[in-house]
Amino acid sequence: MSAIGLGLDTTFDDTSVAILRGKREILSNLTLSQYKEHEEFGGVVPERASRKHLEVIHHIIAGALKEADLDFSGIDYIAVSNYPGLLGSLLVGLTVAKSLAYTLQCPLIGVNHVEAHPYANVLEHGEMQFPILHLVVAGGHTLLIHARGHFDYKIIGRSVDDAAGECVDKVAKMFGHSMPGGPVVDRAAMEFTGDVYDFPRPMLHKKTHNFSFSGLKTAMLRFKEKSQSTSSSSFDSPERLQEDGPILASFFQSVIDVLIHKTFNAAEAYGLNNISVSGGLAASRKLRLAFEAESARKGVNLFYPPPNLCTDNAAMVTCLAAHRYEAELFDDLTLDAFANLN
């Protein structure tokens, strides 16, 4: 009989609960996004985020059990992301997870949220093909991870400043668009060509596998200051779309070019023929098309999850935990939360 895990993810501004049978069968995966909660403040307010998690988490757990047609007696282990993220938010998930594990007398498994992102691919495509290069492009992290096996990996590249998703969100905001910026920028990139403006492609020709996106963000700010907008209409109106579309499409082309170049260079340097792309930005249609084209050109196997498993979700967290459960890598009630990756 396959073990059933209940997993929680409250790392940032999404409250997510999943129930997984074995390593791949999603019985439920419910996520409540807080974007609306924070919109009026122009960004996520940590204090509000933790309060919101606390307010909703028990309801989401009840909903997930109902959807899976289970009660707590059917749960074999509890999984939770305990790092990285907003500390107050992480503590809500961790405290609930500990209480559940203690009450149910079942194993508790703490998971690195960023390490979990690539496991969305296991849910979609089946077991991971090792060795593999994971590109994780999320709101808080841009990482290149060389994985030789489960729990056996090395981070070989990371952003030295802003993450790609953070840069995209900030530039979208700069141009007056609401959170999250990724879907708006992706839409512009699908509708307009990305070669109208030649924005910087930071660190493109540097030997390192690291990224840097803050220079591009600053370049966009300078560009915005120089070219005063004449339109005060919303993105959806035709004039705003005409004005912003080519700029945002060209900006996103810079981001994509850097991600592609760095990822395929790293794959070549480490002799890797399998690449996975995951994290919120991997939901972008433009980014997926670009990675597909380059993978076909280079003869590389490319894996990416469906859009709903790219953005934060507890199913990927529980999937990684299922692998830890099988390996009997359990935690105890002293498990702590950490804001940083290391």
CB of 294 to ligand KG4, least distance (A): 18
Q: Taking CB under 6 A as the rule, does residue 168 contact ligand KG4?
A: yes
Select the binding partner of residue 22 from Zn ion, ligand KG4, none (C-beta < 5 to 8 A, by kind). none
d(CA 82, CA 89) in angstroms, rounded, equals 10
283 contributes a contact to ligand KG4 by CB under 6 A: yes
Q: Is 169 in the site for ligand KG4 (CB under 6 A)?
A: yes
Contacts with ligand KG4 in 10-49 (CB under 6 A)?
12
**Residue type at 153?**
Y
- Identified binder of Zn ion from the candidate list 248, 312, 319, 337, rule CB under 5 A: 312
Among 5, 88, 118, 182, binds ligand KG4 (CB under 6 A): 182
Cα torsion 105, 4, 276, 171: sign: negative
Peptide bond just before 131 cis, omega within 30 deg: yes
Q: x/- site string to Zn ion, residues 126 to 155, per CB under 5 A? A: ------------x-----------------
Q: Which has the closest alpha carbon to 78: 321, 342, 323?
A: 321
- Work out how close the CB of 176 gets to ligand KG4 at its nearest, in angstroms, rounded to a whole number: 15
Q: Output 109 or 300, the one with its CB closest to Zn ion.
A: 109
Structure tokens at 129: 């093909």
Q: Which residues bind Zn ion (CB under 5 A)?
A: 138, 312
Q: Which residues bind ligand KG4 (CB under 6 A)?
A: 12, 138-140, 165, 168-169, 180-183, 186, 279-281, 283-284, 307, 311-312
